[in-house]
Structure 1
């Protein structure tokens, strides 16, 4: 049995912080909670990203909820990507019970029920603030990576964007992009060949098929106007609490391409528009990506490289990224190495492969004199986790088996009436849910083709008119030549004709 006081000092010294922090709960020793041995996350390090992992049913979603609530309470806005649809209860206060009272008594502070300001967002036809982005905002590089195009095809996409820029044609939705692709090797072939070089119809056909595949996953709903402004994720309510923006993704679990498309476009837009933060001591925004394996499992190598680059760069903008998944191996090593906070719920060892995975997972955590990490990973109860964070100096804290506090908000979803009531109070729905379809590349190209067709018809009519005029002129000239020939004049004279007819008449008698 380890010395409890020594362990208490070990945790408190390891998790000491001079600045503001989030309190996750209390450390555990030999299966029991050590009261007041708090496991704290410094606000200063929350832009260093993190991982919440564990088997199904071990409490990952509730841990995500706990951190989101605490951030909101500190005035830090949050974006939750809610794939399972079980986070809307954040907008209503939780309910106390004997188990929660017992949990908090063992941790060392009382339970408080509280609701938090929430906004419901949607990528599809589900109710909520509609999120959209234009094709132009994606740019040729990101669009090519989303579509997983070859170098040649990527070059064609760049030419398409250049043509639209040169001709002031807005690329707003996929309808615009498909139209300009077709135009480049059809009606506009000569124009493109002269200005940008030859474009192969087989290459544009391949790109078009990739666009159709993206459309089939619902991307036609995402691309368009009005574009969502990431600044609207940074709202604070009248009580100084940060908004928790809940993106409902329950209907796109089987459409990972759309999920990846949205996430990358949002992160790229945030990186492009947010100012460099420097050492402010707190993040501007924290984003939680639930069921993160949906992104990584389906991503091409080019897309993974883009995600890795953004993860490395975006923390300088004061943005923290937290991936929630079942196993740390779901996250690529290059991304995993960038994650400062690690919260590991229980893993299950049903097979030899599972046991190997657990040993690998244990190696991701600091060594501890108090735990055999691989054994603890299979012994954690619901609402317990192994935690390692970065302290204010960027050094990993001691590994702590932690009894996590209970969420302050409801641990269940909103009813339909509650959801409708929340949507009615939204200030963003009137701003973003009206669909606009202003003149863009599709309409401009159709008009250009129509004008060209009219010109072609007009030119053809003029040519036919000219041909008819020449034919008439030729006949007239031939007639004039006939009447000017003296022999023809003699033969066609009335005297000759009467003589010939007279002779014919006698012969017939």
Structure 2
């Protein structure tokens, strides 16, 4: 690899093909050494490379205090992004900083297993000046709704909110507004929306005569739109999403834990079926960020972050996103820094991230890019333009960098960008690649979270109250009547119906819309089979206020989306994301697991 460099600005002669002007390389090296000196705690990314020489005495360091300024790890497939992420996670954990990351390919589970020394590894670590010792790290394996090895992660429909739910249901703006109106109706009547059967019961009610009367004062919902929403809810359940929505809901404070030895816990979300549900994954990542922002107190600037959040396959978050959704993400990234959370987007190209978000990512680790097509070449030129001025020929460097090398610029301890440095990255001390299935199973079985989240529950919620059933388990008692708050009377559509009856009715409505023969009223098979035994339900707690969804009583939905940006800009910063995304919390924090 050849790193061509331009002459210093003070000289008038341009760079020649023979190389940099005499002394330019030594001047560049001294600039890099000075730019990456740190007095406070920092992680080391690697060693500077100048003129094809790796300089172990010029470490490239990222101050921990600057990691809540967010960052980007980018590069073409196979250039070493995942290993870079692993190196950063290891050092953050050692420094006592909890980490959250998504294990898209299954490779990051190796963090739980110490690596094996080798001659090739020793040669590389010696060249980069790394004091390498094999180590395993405290890893908590998580799985969306129990899909894969890990502690099941669930969210209530309420907490997920209408904006995020509309994204995974692929609703248009009109349908999204109607969904928000349905959430508003349930919120006003204190009907908990725990899972998809609760939301389906609400939609079924609001398509009935009594339900239309309920919504008349709020602008109403067209029957065709409500039926589209009902069909999408049914499709989510058929696709296995009913396993994700429910209780107990995962408390995002669990991501802030430390191990008994003081190291930060690495929460690793296993995603074996990402390819089948990419939008669900990306929307869930945004839900986690929104919930973290809503729950964490302001901390300002500290010597190290409270959590570093790595969002892999970041392009999935932004693909086909609405303007409202992008505004909400931008607001979240901008404001969550004050909560002590750093967010690193991991993707192939900087162009995968919108400019509004990219402009907030102060720490850059750019692995090699490919320029096989005119579009690739344009993306390469645009990526080069986003870096500070440097003597490196970045177009040459970024197309010729080897695996495990990256161009780096970060924020120094004074908040200024460091010099651009081609870097030979350090190596992980844990296994590169997956841990064995036995190691994963042992880690999950030993988890302190298994008892709290291992078994799904079913409490009295909207479905039970709207249908008058008592399926929430023994001792639940009769379902409470729906608070009338409007024109809901003593008769509730679907009262006394079973879940099978509700399913059959949903199929009948869908058939009428599509013009198909009306199906028989037999029960609908669910992909999960027979329901698991349910625990003693807790009474539904009272909701918190939801300013965005309930503050307007008359025809609110035409203004909801337009208000997102205005709400984000107000002084109520601590509740902005909950308002923007429509998320809310009902549960109480459990003690003893957040240390």
Q: TM-score range by the shorter chain?
A: 0.7 to 0.9
Q: 1:164-183: per-residue Cα shift (whole Å, max 9, x none)?
A: 23322111112111111111
| 8 Å Cα contact 1:96/1:111 also seen in 2 | no
Matches within 5 A, 1:310-321: 310-321=332-343
| 8 Å Cα contact 1:122/1:128 also seen in 2 | yes
Runs of at least 5 residues in structure 2 that lack an aligned partner in the other structure: 1-19, 469-480, 483-488, 497-595
| Cα distance, 1:400–1:436 mapped onto 2, change above 3 Å | same
TM-score by length of 1: 0.84
User: What is residue 136 of structure 2 aligned with on the other side?
Assistant: 115
Q: Which of 458, 478, 481 lines up with 1:437 in the alignment? A: 458
Tell me if 1:177 matches 2:216: no
User: What is residue 405 of structure 2 aligned with on the other side?
Assistant: 384
User: What is residue 231 of structure 1 aligned with on the other side?
Assistant: 253
Instruction: Indicate the RMSD between aligned Cα atoms, in angstroms.
Output: 2.4
User: What is residue 486 of structure 1 aligned with on the other side?
Assistant: none
User: What is residue 257 of structure 1 aligned with on the other side?
Assistant: 279
User: What is residue 345 of structure 2 aligned with on the other side?
Assistant: 323
Q: Which of 43, 61, 75 lines up with 1:22 in the alignment? A: 43
Matches within 5 A, 1:182-193: 182-189=204-211, 191-193=213-215
For 1:64 and 1:193, locate their aligned partners in 2 and report how far apart those are by CA, in whole Å: 49
For 2:37 and 2:267, locate their aligned partners in 1 and report how far apart those are by CA, in whole Å: 31
Deviation at 1:38, TM superposition (A): 0.8
| 8 Å Cα contact 1:146/1:303 also seen in 2 | no
Q: Aligned with 1:165: secondary structure?
A: helix
Deviation at 1:160, TM superposition (A): 2.2
For 1:240 and 1:296, locate their aligned partners in 2 and report how far apart those are by CA, in whole Å: 36
Is 222-231 or 301-310 further displaced after alignment? 301-310
Deviation at 1:148, TM superposition (A): 5.1
Tell me if 1:337 matches 2:359: yes
For 2:344 and 2:237, locate their aligned partners in 1 and report how far apart those are by CA, in whole Å: 28
User: What is residue 467 of structure 1 aligned with on the other side?
Assistant: none
Runs of at least 5 residues in structure 1 that lack an aligned partner in the other structure: 458-509
Tell me if 1:222 matches 2:261: no
Q: Aligned with 1:55: secondary structure?
A: coil
| 8 Å Cα contact 1:27/1:38 also seen in 2 | yes
For 2:252 and 2:125, locate their aligned partners in 1 and report how far apart those are by CA, in whole Å: 37
User: What is residue 473 of structure 1 aligned with on the other side?
Assistant: none
Deviation at 1:9, TM superposition (A): 2.1
Q: Which has the higher helix share?
A: 1
TM-score by length of 2: 0.73
| 8 Å Cα contact 1:346/1:378 also seen in 2 | yes
For 2:174 and 2:437, locate their aligned partners in 1 and report how far apart those are by CA, in whole Å: 50
| Cα distance, 1:296–1:216 mapped onto 2, change above 3 Å | farther
User: What is residue 104 of structure 2 aligned with on the other side?
Assistant: 83
Is 328-337 or 190-199 further displaced after alignment? 190-199
User: What is residue 355 of structure 1 aligned with on the other side?
Assistant: 377
Q: Aligned with 1:250: secondary structure?
A: coil
Deviation at 1:35, TM superposition (A): 2.2
Q: Aligned with 1:403: secondary structure?
A: strand
Q: Aligned with 1:87: secondary structure?
A: helix
User: What is residue 414 of structure 1 aligned with on the other side?
Assistant: 435
Deviation at 1:156, TM superposition (A): 3.1
For 2:176 and 2:170, locate their aligned partners in 1 and report how far apart those are by CA, in whole Å: 9
Tell me if 1:99 matches 2:120: yes
User: What is residue 5 of structure 2 aligned with on the other side?
Assistant: none
For 1:153 and 1:56, locate their aligned partners in 2 and report how far apart those are by CA, in whole Å: 37
Q: Which of 133, 151, 154 lines up with 1:132 in the alignment? A: 154
For 1:162 and 1:33, locate their aligned partners in 2 and report how far apart those are by CA, in whole Å: 60
User: What is residue 491 of structure 2 aligned with on the other side?
Assistant: 452
For 1:163 and 1:453, locate their aligned partners in 2 and report how far apart those are by CA, in whole Å: 15
